[in-house]
């Protein structure tokens, strides 16, 4: 028997099913691995299960679910040598699209077993007014302002039923009621102002779109996209620009390479598609923080 694999699965993920998780486990066992399948019951479980699994020293931890599940597992094992792979079962599967990982079970599991792990960088965000201080890693992006408020407003029941439709609905309702506050972004010692921002550790956003196209997981640097407009018409224009890939040409958008960003003001924050909390916050890059198989 080869060394063991821990498979952490979120049964609430949009495309998750007992059948798919069972297929993944059977495939891994057919290749000679001892497989332990652990299911989450609530938010935060995947992180706890991943951290507890480190005591068993598995050869690999596979996260099965959506980007939120992947984020939790990352926060459970970041800074260790245990590699992580993913089985995409979520709503938009942004990380899978970023890494070009197949969404079918066998394709994803073949990739997990055949590829060698790569050391990647992670973003790290700290809510500087929280007590005690709250710090979280993110693998994809952090959204501040409109983006964070839209995630804050998502109805979880609707998300389970409609998937990406819940994000679209919340985005529209947020647009109708938003009254943003001015934020300051201190980026590598230079001050910028805006009403929203997206800080990318990866290029993909919301599936196939790119807000920070130059960001890459293997590159130890973040890219900040700061939106200076506060009107509803500005937000609609920004969304159109992102959908068409033209937003970086806009005069009222700042696009900056960064290692450290300090954000002051009052705004909601999301990381990797899940709500985190409120600014002020500090965002930094952590090089070589995770062994990821892709």
pLDDT by residue (tens digit) across 24-83?
A: 999 999 999 999 999 999 999 999 999 999 999 999 999 999 999 999 999 999 999 999
Confidence category of residue 294, pLDDT binned at 50, 70, 90: very high
Higher local confidence (pLDDT), 112 or 91: 112
Q: In CATH, which of 3.50.4.10, 2.60.200.40, 3.40.50.2300, 3.30.230.70 is domain 121-288?
A: 2.60.200.40
Query: In the chain, where does the domain assigned CATH 3.40.50.10330 lie?
Result: 4-115
Q: In CATH, which of 3.40.50.10330, 3.40.50.150, 3.50.50.60, 3.30.2320.50 is domain 4-115?
A: 3.40.50.10330
pLDDT of residue 154: 83
Whole-model pTM: value is: 0.94
Say yes or no to pLDDT of 160 above 80.
no
Higher local confidence (pLDDT), 163 or 40: 40
- The whole-angstrom separation of Cα 287 and Cα 220 is 5
Say yes or no to pLDDT of 166 above 80.
no
Confidence category of residue 14, pLDDT binned at 50, 70, 90: low
pLDDT of residue 164: 67
The three-class DSSP label of residue 204 is: strand
pLDDT digits (tens, 9 = 90+) for 186-223: 999 999 999 999 999 999 998 889 999 999 999 999 99
Please give the sequence-ordered ranges of beta strands (E in DSSP) within 168-250, or none if there are none. 183-187, 190-194, 196-200, 204-205, 209-210, 222-227
pLDDT of residue 175: 86
Mean pLDDT of the chain: 94
Query: In the chain, where does the domain assigned CATH 2.60.200.40 lie?
Result: 121-288
pLDDT of residue 169: 78
Backbone angles phi, psi at 177, to 5 degrees: -120, 0
Across the range 148-169, mean pLDDT stands at 75
Say yes or no to pLDDT of 242 above 80.
yes
User: What's the burial of 251, exposed, middle or buried (CB within 10 Å: 0-12/13-18/19+)?
Assistant: exposed
Across the range 230-256, mean pLDDT stands at 97
Helices (H), 136-188: 146-152, 156-162, 164-177
Across the range 97-126, mean pLDDT stands at 97
Say yes or no to pLDDT of 250 above 90.
yes
């Amino acid at each position: 028997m080869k060394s063991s694999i821990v498979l952490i699965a979120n049964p609430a993920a949009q495309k998750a099913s007992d059948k798919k998780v069972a297929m993944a486990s059977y495939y891994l066992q057919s290749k000679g691995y001892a497989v332990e399948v652990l299911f989450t019951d609530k938010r935060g479980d995947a992180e706890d299960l991943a951290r507890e699994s480190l005591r068993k020293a598995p050869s690999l931890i596979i996260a099965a679910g959506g980007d939120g599940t992947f984020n939790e597992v990352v926060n459970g094992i970041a800074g260790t040598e245990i590699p992580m792979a993913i089985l995409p079962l979520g709503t938009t599967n942004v990380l899978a699209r970023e890494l070009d990982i197949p969404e079918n079970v066998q394709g994803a599991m073949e990739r997990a077993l055949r590829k060698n792990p790569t050391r990647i960088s992670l973003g790290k965000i700290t809510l500087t007014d929280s007590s005690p201080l709250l710090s979280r890693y993110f693998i994809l992006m952090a959204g501040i302002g409109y983006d964070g408020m839209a995630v804050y407003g998502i109805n979880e029941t609707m998300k389970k039923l409609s998937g990406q439709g819940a994000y679209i609905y919340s985005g529209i309702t947020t647009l109708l009621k938003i009254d943003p506050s001015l934020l300051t972004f201190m980026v590598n010692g230079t001050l910028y102002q805006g009403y929203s921002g997206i800080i990318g550790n990866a290029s993909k956003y919301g599936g196939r779109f790119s807000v920070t196209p130059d960001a890459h997981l293997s590159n130890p640097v973040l890219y900040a996209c700061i939106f200076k407009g506060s009107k509803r018409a500005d937000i609609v224009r920004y969304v159109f620009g992102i959908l068409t890939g033209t937003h970086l040409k806009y005069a009222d958008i700042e696009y900056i390479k960064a290692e450290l960003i300090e954000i002051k003001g009052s705004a909601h924050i999301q990381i990797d598609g899940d709500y985190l909390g409120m600014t002020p916050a500090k965002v930094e890059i952590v090089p070589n923080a995770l062994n990821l198989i892709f």
